[in-house]
Structure 1
């Protein structure tokens, strides 16, 4: 087997081991508070396997490409090679999103391990590493910053714009996948959901997934909107009923704050009776 390829397999193994040791070190505070859990230790095994496979089947080809592209360079080879490794790690964010941050980290570790093995063979010198170290550090900071921002940008977010009758206090239920629901309207990037006086709404949308980035408004009879503070909203639950998914949340006009957000107990005297999912289905003829 090609010696260079064997060395890169070693680099893949070493970088995966170092990566797992870093993960375990981050778990030390948890171990100190709750004791060492075998379940937690076992959880790192698939992470190690994924990191190793990623380094073998993705990292090594990238490393070979890097060597080909930088073979005629000398003073800047270390810096440019490091950039190539991290750049290809960065690209994985487009596919695996948040997990791509781990790919960026393992790509850097793989590169450093590979360079260390070369150093032992006299291919590079400490002087070159020192000269390029500051540049590589800047690249790490830059790509780390871009990676975090790209992950945030690629997150799937639930953007729903709730229009709720003014003064309504109580549980709100939204039924999804309802074909006969009113035609969908949008306000910028938000999908409008109009809640009726009885505290429920029908929509043809599928149940939202991902991070919640909703807006909630009271609407009076003249159409004037007043935004509802998030501290007055409690996300209760979601579920399914045959072909219809649903979510429920609660609104209060009294006792808003962290306590209400967590427990959802409405203490307002203005609370209104709300229908159950079964009652809504029956009323709308959806059973």
Structure 2
């Protein structure tokens, strides 16, 4: 076979493979889409535990999962897995009447995710911190 024919065939196969990948597996970024409802005045660490047997499921508000954080900063859910991707979460303080006050993103430090395993049960965690008094770029980035 002629070298030009081989090069052309190779180029055609590469182009078809790339086109097929784009059509079959389009890029679709995922996002976290959580609404955190935090007791009014709370300041400190928050942990959400996923895949906790007997814990409540997460309620939905549109495309968002609603996470009602307890006064101890913890919420357990039976939802097996958290969402990953672009962090699109919303944070609110909630008073006794259920009224929401938005929390500025500079008052939130998203610390990260982890997991633990007991027997064959894997519990996933997401951790963050909330402040009322130290809001700013440093708190958002480092939690301090």
- TM-score band, normalised by shorter chain: 0.7 to 0.9
- Matched with 2:138 is 259
> Which of these two proteins has the greater Rg computed from alpha carbons?
1
Checking the alignment, whether the CA contact within 8 Å between 1:250 and 1:264 is kept in structure 2 is yes
Aligned length: 139
Aligned counterpart in structure 2 of residue 236 of structure 1, from 102, 108, 111: 111
> Is structure 2 residue 10 aligned with structure 1 residue 57?
no
> Which blocks of at least 5 consecutive residues in structure 2 are unaligned?
none
Ranges of 4+ aligned residues in structure 1 off by more than 6 Å: none
Alignment of 1:1-287 (within 5 A): 1=1, 5-9=5-9, 55=11, 57-59=13-15, 61=16, 89=19, 92=22, 95=25, 97=27, 154-205=28-79, 206-242=81-117, 243-265=122-144
Tell me the C-alpha RMSD between the 2 structures. Answer: 2.4
Q: Hey, what's the Cα distance between the residues in 2 that align with 1:94 and 1:166? A: 47
Please say which of residues 174-183 and 248-257 is displaced more in the overlay. 174-183
Q: When you count helix as a share of all residues, which structure comes out higher? A: 1
Q: What SS class does the counterpart of residue 211 from structure 1 fall into? A: coil
> Which blocks of at least 5 consecutive residues in structure 1 are unaligned?
13-54, 63-87, 98-153, 266-287
TM-score, L = length of structure 1: 0.44
Q: 1:89 to 1:249 in 2, by over 3 A?
A: same
